[in-house]
Structure 1
Amino acid sequence: MRIWTDLREFFFPRLCVSCGKRLMQGEEGLCLACSASLPYTSIYNKEGNEMERCFWGRFPIVRASSLFYYAKGGKVAQVLYAMKYHNRRKLCVRMGEWMGSALLPSGFFEGIDCLVPVPLYRTRLRQRGYNQSELLARGISRKTGLPVCTDAVWRVRNNATQTQKSGYARWMNVEGLFRTAPQAALLEGKHILLVDDVLTTGATLTACADALSSVGGIRISVATLAWAK
């Protein structure tokens, strides 16, 4: 098997999504130099942090954290683009593992019962072949042992991309976007962690939390890979 791996690496080398440098064994998506220069938020489990306050008054959030700051055209933006549009499934899982490893020592996952990735609409999921938020959650699960729940909430329509929309337009774009599934009843009285790739205005995550808030006794926290502060 080693010879086939070497041949594949020779003809189809794995490249860093940021600088284009050839990746070494053990590197996934990013080379060591680019990985070391990513802009960490250092929020971890700080109570009442600025990201958590983004959701105050929108739904009763327990805690919130993000691993990296997002800047247009920056390294984190390049990672997110590769995760969503270049079929970098292993990179999605690796980033989730990174989130899990970074947040675990802070106690961020204490009391959380399961991970709920923000779902894609079925046609987009079919086109892309995977949900990057679900793969992030799978990576977190590998480090924390927390189960991943993918059938509690549905995305009921394929809303237009949020990328070029204003803050107000983003909120209008996600109104009524999610609905709970029958399996959501299993989350009664549970503390769930909503997982998504990036937080911008918080419109999508709030819409998802609003749908899940109909479940009796549910408590909701949020974790994203990146935050466009």
Structure 2
Amino acid sequence: MRLLKDLFYIFYPKLCVVCDENLIENENVLCTLCRHDLSLTNFNSYQNNKITQAFYGSIIIEKAYALLYYRKEGSTLNLIHDLKYKGNEEIGVFFGNWLGEMLKENNEFKNVDCIIPVPLHPKKLRERGYNQVTKFGERLSFYLNVPLIENELIRISSTKTQTFKSRFERFINLDTKFSLKNPSKFNNKHILLIDDVITTGATLKACAKEFQKSKNCRISILTMAYTE
């Protein structure tokens, strides 16, 4: 069996998403060198950081965290681009395992009741074939031992992707709307909203406002990356 596995990797090697070098055993998605080259946010606090501050005066956020900084150039951009546009859902699994292990150890989100991914518009979902944060959410669900709920929050308007727009363009393009099917289902619940990248926070803010329709619903946020 070991010989067959070794032969498989000779003819079908696993490559690092960033540098295209062959991955060795126990490496997945990224080689060790590229992983160490990623720009970690290393926020000292989950309650008071750049993400929670972006919601001051609008939405009360219990906790928030992003693993990486997202910049116009660099490894994180390549990873998110491959995840969203090249069908490489293993990147979502990679980030979910990384963050899931970290959160299981530090217990920062031990009191959440469920995980809610930011949904795609149905048209975009049909075109892409998958929501780029689903695999991410599935792994977080495993580590935090809470359900991933995908069909309660619905996107009812579609805008062009925000990732590569200028900050000014993102501010003026805030017409994305969401609808919560059954607000009472989340009464007295603590939900964890997840997304790939947080930019101005407008999308997550629109999602969070829907959950304000639920009685005593607490909201936390977790993303793969954060744009400075």
User: What TM-score comes out, normalization by structure 2 length?
Assistant: 0.90
Tell me the residue number matched to 2:133. 133
- Whether the 8 Å contact between 1:45 and 1:107 is mirrored in structure 2 is no
| Cα distance in 2 between the residues matched to 1:131 and 1:139 | 14
Percent identical pairs in the alignment equals 36
- Residue 147 of structure 1 corresponds to 147
Aligned-partner Cα distance in 1 for 2:9–2:20? 15
CA RMSD of aligned residues (A): 2.0
The alpha carbon displacement at 1:164 in A equals: 4.1
- Residues 65, 222 of structure 2: 8 Å contact kept: yes
Shift in Å, 1:176 = 4.8
User: Could you say which residue in structure 2 is the equivalent of 1:218?
Assistant: 217
1:112 corresponds to:
112
Question: What residue in structure 1 maps to residue 81 of structure 2?
Answer: 81
Where 2:185 maps in the other structure, the secondary structure is: helix
Query: Which 10-residue stretch deviates more, 199-208 or 48-57?
Result: 48-57
1:179 corresponding residue in structure 2: 179
Is 1:96 the counterpart of 2:86? The answer is: no
How does 1:1-229 map onto structure 2 within 5 Å? 6=6, 8-43=8-43, 45-182=45-182, 184-229=183-228
Given that 1:175 and 1:207 are in contact with CA atoms closer than 8 Å, whether structure 2 keeps it comes out as: no
The whole-number CA distance in structure 2 between the counterparts of 1:210 and 1:123 is 23
The Cα offsets for residues 145-194 of structure 1, whole Å up to 9 and x where unpaired, read as 12111112101122112134344542443325211113x43211100010
8 A contact 2:157–2:176 mirrored in 1: no
Runs (4 or more) in structure 1 with deviation over 4 Å come to 1-8
Q: What is the alpha-carbon distance in structure 1 between the residues aligned to residue 210 and residue 24 of structure 2?
A: 43
TM-score normalised by L of structure 1: 0.90
CA distance in structure 1 between the aligned counterparts of 2:162 and 2:129, rounded to whole angstroms: 20
Please tell me whether the aligned partners of residues 113 and 147 of structure 1 are also in contact (alpha carbons under 8 angstroms). Answer: yes
In structure 1, the gaps of 5 or more residues are none
What is the distance in 2 between the residues matched to 1:227 and 1:20?
25
Pairwise CA distance, 1:91? 2.0
In the alignment, the residues of structure 2 paired with residue 45 and residue 170 of structure 1 have an alpha-carbon distance, to the nearest angstrom, of 27
Quick one: distance in 1 between partners of 2:71 and 2:172? 24
Instruction: Write the letter of the residue equivalent to 1:113.
Output: D
